[in-house]
Chains A and B, each alone.
Chain A
Amino acid sequence: MTLPSIVTRFLTKSYGALTALDSFDLTVEQGTIFGLLGPNGAGKTTLIRILTTLMNQSSGSASIEGLDTLSSGREIRCMIGVVSQENSLDRYLTARENLELHARLHGMEKRQYKGRIDDLLELMGLAGRQTDFPDTFSGGMQRRLVIARALVHQPRVLFLDEPTTGLDPQSRRAVWEYVRSLAGSMTIFLTTHYLEEAEQLCDRIAIMDHGRLIASGSTQELKDRLSGATVYEIEFAEGEGERYAALLGAMSCSRNISRLGNKVTVTLEHWECVSEIVTALHGAAIRRISLKERTLEDVFISLTGEKVRE
């Protein structure tokens, strides 16, 4: 049995009266892609700063590959790669020089990093621009360069803090491809606001809010947590929507009725309610009935609420 890659136990971080992390427990298995989701201010960045040894916790423990973040900071930083929210590229150094500086900060000799940097620039599609300055790069290229920088020293754990924020769909998908290509060779810890990204990339996902872990599992496991409720979208003929929305709303097994024109969306307590609905709608001019798949976003909103965070 392999050692978990990342473990936190009762991890707590307070800033005065504010508790950013509250007895946070987490286990991430080696070689997996783990996604951490949460609204703004949920504590994601605090957690990632503690795990990358940039910050000390108030209490509790955190370990990376079995090493304690408080007592083995230097050893941990040798084995992690970090892609922070900000690009943090040195605009006065060329793309290649950025990677070389990072390699030297990791104590690598030129003979060790030269070939590695060649390979990474090739892999990230930046070989032709290696002597250019990052300021002249597109957002997607800068992001790829930051990822390349985080990989120079061949880390065992890669932290990606909102790696695709601000990128266009094409660049985002390109980054996803690079991340997928790394799967299995290292543990990847990803935070993101894009639920589709987490759904596409992650083996396991955790949702946190107010500094606490509120759910974790695979995408399917999280979707299954939304009780047995099913959502149907029913499109009626012109002018019929309002009447049938009222009828459905009055039924005991329906909840959360919403209407947009002739389209009525109804959440049923359980699938057995379908026959009751069919009976109630007998004779109605129905154009279409469809079962609406629950998405990760539904799970996220149901767990963290719809209120916009500051």
Chain B
Amino acid sequence: MLTGTVAIWLRDMLILRRSIYSELVAVVAYPLTIYLAFGIGMQGYIGLVDGAPYSLFIAPGLITMTAVNAAYNESVWSLWFHRRVQFTIESYRVTPISVSEIVIAKILTGFTHGIIKGCAVGLVIFAITPFRFPLEHLLQYLLFLIPGSALFSCAGIISGTVMDKPETIGKVEAVLVMPLIFMSGLFFPLSSYPPSVIPWVRALPTTALFEGARRALVTGELAAFPVLQVSLSALVAFVAAVFIFRRKMAE
């Protein structure tokens, strides 16, 4: 049934395999720069955050950010490029596969990029910084990272489907995606917000993702509500992405 999904996903993985080294260099450079600039450069001024040195406080968030950013970017640009520049989506659509198979393949690709690149950054941070976590915490962390990457991959598919101009995609990333990531407790604890704002910030799935993922990785704590919040958001985003893509294709 998912012949088309598998074929397109394998195609995307072939392209990833061919460009894996250059992709990883680019992907690792950004969070590593942030880690060095903020984690190392600023830690002397900031001191402890939630009882941990600042460099260790931001490390899990940087890994998570890399994964979800990679998932979003791959989905949005890949879909836009294949739809508007290369017209390959059109060439897929005149074969017997369904529109849903195409969009599921693209979501899977974004998700795979997120997981691979997140893991790569995690390994680099693990190797060259004092950040350490017990390996048994990895399973709890993945329970956040997997639906988180899926959520951002679906968000990328929605953006890549509804936006026809590349500059609009850049604007959405600057106005919506990055603030959602940065304001979700990646660089500072939620307690820094005014008390009246905290419930609103906590309601964001990105907060559940970044906060929950950090706790899972550092302490091994697995809070059910944030996991459900991220998973449910990913599910809703998946249904929305498939629906919006199908609608766009029917136009």
Name A149's closest neighbour in chain B (CB-CB).
Answer: B91
Contact of B87 among A56, A74, A84, A101 (CB under 8 A): A84
Asked if B96 contacts A74 (CB within 8 A), the reply is yes
- In chain A, residues 8-53, which have Cβ atoms closer than 8 Å to a Cβ of chain B? 52-53
Docked complex Cα distance between A84 and B92 (Å): 12
Most chain B CB within a 10 A radius of its CB, from A54, A82, A88: A88
A92 and B98 CA atoms in complex are apart in Å by 23
Chain A residues with CB under 8 Å of B18's CB are: 92
Residues of B within 8 A of A91 (CB): 86
B residues 213-251 near A (Cβ < 8 Å) are 250
Question: For residues 85 through 130 of chain B, which have their beta carbon under 8 Å from a beta carbon of chain A?
Answer: 86-88, 90-98
CB within 8 Å for A56 and B250 given contacts A91-B86, A101-B7:
yes
Which of A93, A101, A106, A149 lies in contact with B96, CB distance below 8 A?
Answer: A106
Give the residues from 92 to 149 in chain A that come closer than 8 angstroms, CB to CB, to chain B.
92-93, 97, 101-102, 104-107, 149
Q: Are B88 and A105 in contact (CB under 8 A)?
A: no
Q: How far is the CB of A155 from chain B (nearest CB, A)?
A: 10
B132 proximal to A (CB < 8 A) = no
Contact across chains for A52 and B11 when beta carbons are under 8 A apart:
no
- Write out the residue numbers on chain A whose beta carbons fall within 8 Å of the beta carbon of B250: 55-56
Q: B3 near A102 (CB under 8 angstroms)?
A: no
- Contacting residue for A74 out of B15, B86, B91, B98, CB 8 A: B98
Is B212 interfacial (CB 8 A cutoff)?
Answer: no
B20 adjacent to chain A (CB < 8 Å):
no
* Per-residue interface assignment for chain B, residues 9 to 21, with 1 indicating a CB less than 8 Å from any chain A CB and 0 otherwise: 0110011001000
Chain A CB within 8 A of B4 CB = yes
Question: How long is the Cα–Cα vector from A54 to B246 in the complex, in angstroms?
Answer: 11
| A74–B96 alpha-carbon span in the complex (Å) | 5
Q: Closest residue to A15 on the B side, CB-wise?
A: B251
Chain A contacts with B in 63-87, Cβ cutoff 8 A: 74-75, 77-78, 80, 82, 84, 86-87
CB distance from B223 to the nearest CB of A (A): 41
CB neighbours (8 Å) of B90 from chain A are 54, 84, 86, 88
In the complex, A88→B98 CA distance in Å? 18
Inter-subunit contact A84/B96 (CB<8 Å): no
Cβ contact within 8 Å between B11 and A77: no
Bound state CA distance, A55 and B250, in angstroms? 6
Are B87 and A106 in contact (CB-based, < 8 A)? no
Task: List residues of A whose CB falls within 8 A of some B CB.
Answer: 52-56, 74-75, 77-78, 80, 82, 84, 86-93, 97, 101-102, 104-107, 149
Shortest beta-carbon contacts, A-B, top 6: A88-B87, A105-B95, A104-B7, A82-B94, A88-B91, A86-B87
